[in-house]
Structure formats: structure tokens, C-alpha cells
């Protein structure tokens, strides 16, 4: 997802000179690339070789476009103001053409490969690689009879999965957002490191993490034309519902049986969870509430479908076929319903999720509500969401 309302924080000390060696290569750089570089205040230096260009701009998504300055050696440079911590998508505009920075790894977002830069959050290590036992992330391909095509997913296996061969594990299915793909939760979100660190600290049960490709279209289903249709428009919502319905069938009829057949899972609803960010939250609520025979832990990270969009409160007696109509029955079936949002998210999205929270409270539906302080519709929000959500999972289930 594109970062919305990206804040560029100017400090009073910005104009003061800093030592050149205070800048260090970003963790998101390709091997041995020295630029972009970041200092302790979060400023970033960029250096790009384009000797024949006449204009080069640094393009942070949903943020300022910064003009770069050509140097005598043909390199273009610029230093940003301090950036807020977290992951930032960016591209370069070279004589009008949008391109990626060859110094950065590519990250799939906004429906394309883009560059990215990680700005460290001081004192925060929960999503960084630590000296703890590490799990493995494996690729799988499975044939979908629903799609009539091969599908791709990533599976995180906790530490000791290959050595403790008699142990079976619960599963969290974790979905990406619109414009991104199944690689997002590991490449941008560091979900595997988050789980490694939580498991090592004893805060979370060891579990499998399944991250599936979230776009689906049945054979013969046309590609919707959403040109000029704003996010949240009826056309957009109908298209998302069509995709979600096709994905729901693939997910429940093909993916879950494949995972249970090929990995050592605990294949019952008490040991199965699903969560997703933005579009993935939409998919999560649709799939889980239609299949409470399969899931007992549910999480929406900055997304919960049409019931949490805008200022209109949902009818809690009828939404999702009346799943909330009987709070006591819901509490027996669902061990955890979790909803999260960043405090700086776009107003319509934040208000919708807050209204959902209020509606759940008024309907006496047990749930958890988390607000990530100072973050928008972005990976720093969703990393924090996973950190809060994962330790709550599978605590009620008998092991």
C-alpha cells in the first residue's frame, strides 16, 4: 500500500552541519551500495549516476518530490529532512521517466517494483534480526482447481520445525494489502523476524505463518476497469468483493487443505488464525466470518471490509449474515477478534475502524482494539499490529 500523508519532520537543528561519517548505508541497499545513507536523525542522502540527464527528482510516495543537484562527476545528490521511522517507498524521476534506484533492493508495492529505504526507529528491535533461533521461510507452489492455475505462497516455519519432527503447530494465515503481494510481509514487514523474536522471548506460541498471493480471478472472469474510480467507490468495492469471493474459494478449498497435507499442522479451527492488512483485512473478515468452522482467531490490520469504512455504523444484527447477533454464541466460537489502526491513517479509514470498535462495544462483542501511535497506512503500523496480535493467538487452544 502507498504510504498516505507521509510526515517529513523538520528539526530546528536541521541547518546545523553534521559530520559526514554520521551517515551509514541503509539496510535496504543492495550488496555494498553506499547510498542511500541515513544518519542518526533520520536524514537520508541519495546519490544517483545520470550524467546525461537534465533533471532528476527523488519521489517519495505521498510525500514531497525533492529536486536533486547535479555534481561535476555526473552524479546527482540530495539530502532529505529527517524522515519518520519505518519503511518508505520511493522512485526516481529522471527526465520525466519514473525508475527505480539501482542502489536499493526492489519491493513490490503500488502494483510495481519500487525502491525502498528503511529508517530505523530508535530503541526498537522487535522487527529486526536478532541473535535468537531463526525459523525458515519457504516457497510453495500449488495448483488451484478454482483458478485453473498455479498459485504461489510463502510459509514461515518456526525454529526447530525440522528437528522436532513429532511436534505439530498452529497456523496463522497472514495476508498482504492491495498493490502488494505475498512477499510483502517478509520483505517490507519483517514478519519472520517478528515471530522469531516473539517466540524466543516466550511471548508467542511457535506457529506456522502462511502468506498467500491475494489476487484471484476465476477462469473467464474479466478484469475490472477501475480507471478513475476512487478508493471506496461502489465500483471499487464491488471489484474487491469479486476478487475476495474468488480468493475465498481458493483459500478454503485448496490452500488450507494443501498446507494441512504438506506441513505438520494442528488441522482444526482452534489452531487456525487469519489476519490481513488493508485489503487483506477485507479478505480476512469475509473468509473467517463465512467459515467459522475453520477459524477461531481473526485480525484486521487497518482493514475490515465495508463494515468499517467511513462514518456509517454497521448493523451488527445483520452484517456478515448475523454473525454478531448473539454475543454469547460469538464468544464461544471466536477466541479472538482483533482490530487495529494507525492514529495518523486517512480520516475516512481511521473513522471507519473506530466506529467498528464502538459498534462492537455497543453490541457486547468481545474484541481487542489497538491504535498504533503516530503511524499512517504503512508498514510501521502493521509491524506493530503483528507484534500485538501474535502473542494473543492459540492461548485458549489445548496443545
pLDDT reading at 248 higher than 50: yes
CA dihedral of residues 100, 101, 104, 106 (deg, nearest 10): 10
Residue 373 lies in a domain: yes
Residues 58 and 145 in one domain: no
Burial class (CB in 10 A: 0-12, 13-18, 19+), 93: middle
Residue 127 lies in a domain: no
Among 219-228, 377-386, 387-396, whose mean pLDDT is lowest? 219-228
Q: Are 80 and 44 in contact (CB under 8 A)?
A: yes
Cα–Cα distance for residue pair 104/117, rounded to 1 Å: 7
Write the pLDDT tens digit of every residue in 97-138.
Answer: 999 999 999 999 999 999 999 999 999 999 999 999 999 999
Kindly state the percentage of the chain with pLDDT values over 90: 76
Task: Find how far residue 110's CA is from the centre of its chain.
Answer: 13
Residues 364 and 249 in one domain: yes
In this structure, the strands spanning 336-342 and 297-301 are parallel
Q: What is the overall mean pLDDT for the chain?
A: 89
Task: Find how far residue 337's CA is from the centre of its chain.
Answer: 18
Residue 130 lies in a domain: no
Span 315-337, mean pLDDT?
92
Q: Report the 10 Å Cβ neighbour count for 213.
A: 18
Q: Are 56 and 93 in contact (CB under 8 A)?
A: yes
Span 158-164, mean pLDDT?
96
Residue 365 lies in a domain: yes
> Measured on CA atoms in the order 138, 300, 180, 3, is the torsion positive or negative?
negative
Q: Closest by alpha carbon to 200, among 136, 132, 137?
A: 132
Span 235-250, mean pLDDT?
80
Residues 154 and 296 in one domain: yes
Which of 93, 119, 145 is a domain's end point?
Answer: 119
Cα–Cα distance for residue pair 68/93, rounded to 1 Å: 10
Q: Return the pLDDT at 6.
A: 40
Per-residue pLDDT band at 313 (split at 50, 70, 90): confident
Which range, 188-197, 218-227, 239-248, 339-348, is most confident? 188-197
Q: Are 290 and 253 in contact (CB under 8 A)?
A: no
Residue 370 lies in a domain: yes
Per-residue pLDDT band at 238 (split at 50, 70, 90): confident
Residues 82 and 197 in one domain: no
Residues 109 and 156 in one domain: no
Q: Are 242 and 136 in contact (CB under 8 A)?
A: no
Cα–Cα distance for residue pair 78/284, rounded to 1 Å: 42
Q: Return the pLDDT at 399.
A: 44
pLDDT reading at 57 higher than 50: yes
Which of 92, 119, 146 is a domain's end point?
Answer: 119
| Segments of the chain assigned E as strands | 24-25, 37-38, 44-49, 56-60, 65-67, 69-70, 75-79, 86-94, 97-99, 106-109, 112-119, 136-144, 149-157, 171-175, 208-212, 272-277, 297-301, 336-342, 368-372
Q: Are 36 and 101 in contact (CB under 8 A)?
A: yes
Which of 68, 88, 119 is a domain's end point?
Answer: 119
Residues 224 and 308 in one domain: yes
Q: Please report, for the domain that includes residue 184, its CATH number.
A: 3.40.50.1820
Q: Closest by alpha carbon to 80, among 148, 164, 10?
A: 10
Domain range for 248 is 136-392
Residue 165 lies in a domain: yes
Span 149-178, mean pLDDT?
97
Residues 145 and 115 in one domain: no
Q: What phi and psi values does residue 60 have, to the nearest 5 degrees?
A: -80, 130
Residues 86 and 173 in one domain: no
pLDDT reading at 17 higher than 50: no
Cα–Cα distance for residue pair 185/176, rounded to 1 Å: 7
Per-residue pLDDT band at 88 (split at 50, 70, 90): very high
Residues 305 and 255 in one domain: yes
Number of domains in the chain: 2
Residues 115 and 147 in one domain: no
Residue 23 lies in a domain: yes
Per-residue pLDDT band at 317 (split at 50, 70, 90): confident
Q: Please report, for the domain that includes residue 101, its CATH number.
A: 2.60.40.10
Residues 270 and 333 in one domain: yes
Q: Return the pLDDT at 232.
A: 64
DSSP state of 75: E
Residues 154 and 69 in one domain: no
Residue 300 lies in a domain: yes
Global pTM reads 0.90
Amino acid at each position: 500500500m502507498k504510504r498516505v500523508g507521509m510526515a517529513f519532520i523538520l528539526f530546528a537543528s536541521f541547518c546545523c552541519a553534521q559530520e559526514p561519517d554520521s551517515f551509514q548505508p541503509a539496510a535496504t541497499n543492495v550488496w555494498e551500495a553506499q547510498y542511500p545513507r541515513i544518519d542518526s536523525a533520520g536524514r537520508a542522502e541519495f546519490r544517483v549516476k545520470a550524467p546525461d540527464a537534465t533533471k532528476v527528482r527523488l519521489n517519495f510516495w505521498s510525500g514531497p518530490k525533492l529536486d536533486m543537484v547535479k555534481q561535476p562527476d555526473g552524479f546527482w545528490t540530495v539530502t532529505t529532512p529527517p524522515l519518520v521511522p519505518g519503511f518508505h517507498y520511493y522512485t526516481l524521476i529522471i527526465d520525466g521517466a519514473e525508475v527505480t534506484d539501482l542502489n536499493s533492493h526492489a519491493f513490490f508495492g503500488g502494483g510495481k517494483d519500487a525502491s525502498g529505504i528503511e529508517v530505523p526507529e530508535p530503541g526498537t528491535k522487535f522487527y529486526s534480526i536478532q541473535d535468537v533461533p531463526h525459523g525458515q521461510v519457504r516457497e510453495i507452489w500449488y495448483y488451484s482447481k478454482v483458478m485453473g492455475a498455479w498459485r504461489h505462497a510463502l510459509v514461515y516455519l518456526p525454529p526447530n520445525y525440522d528437528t522436532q519432527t513429532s511436534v505439530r503447530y498452529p497456523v496463522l494465515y497472514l495476508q498482504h494489502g492491495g498493490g502488494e503481494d505475498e512477499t510483502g510481509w517478509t520483505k517490507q514487514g519483517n514478519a519472520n523476524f517478528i515471530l522469531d523474536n516473539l517466540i524466543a522471548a516466550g511471548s508467542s506460541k511457535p506457529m506456522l505463518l502462511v502468506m498467500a498471493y491475494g489476487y484471484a480471478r476465476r477462469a473467464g472472469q474479466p478484469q475490472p476497469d477501475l480507471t478513475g474510480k476512487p478508493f471506496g467507490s461502489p465500483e471499487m468495492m464491488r471489484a474487491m468483493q469479486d476478487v475476495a469471493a474468488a480468493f475465498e474459494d481458493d483459500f478454503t478449498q485448496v490452500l488450507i487443505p494443501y498446507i494441512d497435507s504438506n506441513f505438520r499442522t494442528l488441522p482444526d479451527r482452534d489452531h487456525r488464525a487469519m489476519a490481513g492488512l488493508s485489503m487483506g483485512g477485507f479478505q480476512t473478515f469475509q473468509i473467517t466470518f463465512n467459515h467459522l468452522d475453520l477459524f477461531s482467531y481473526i485480525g484486521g490490520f487497518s482493514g475490515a471490509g465495508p463494515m468499517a469504512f467511513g462514518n456509517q455504523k454497521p448493523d451488527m444484527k445483520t452484517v456478515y449474515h448475523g454473525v454478531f447477533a448473539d454475543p454469547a454464541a460469538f464468544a464461544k466460537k471466536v477466541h479472538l477478534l482483533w482490530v487495529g489502526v494507525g492514529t495518523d491513517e486517512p480520516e475516512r479509514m481511521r473513522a471507519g475502524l473506530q466506529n467498528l470498535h464502538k459498534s462492537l462495544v455497543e453490541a457486547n462483542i468481545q474484541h481487542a482494539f489497538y491504535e498504533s501511535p503516530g503511524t499512517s497506512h504503512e508498514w510501521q503500523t502493521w509491524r506493530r499490529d503483528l507484534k500485538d496480535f501474535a502473542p494473543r493467538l492459540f492461548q485458549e487452544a489445548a496443545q
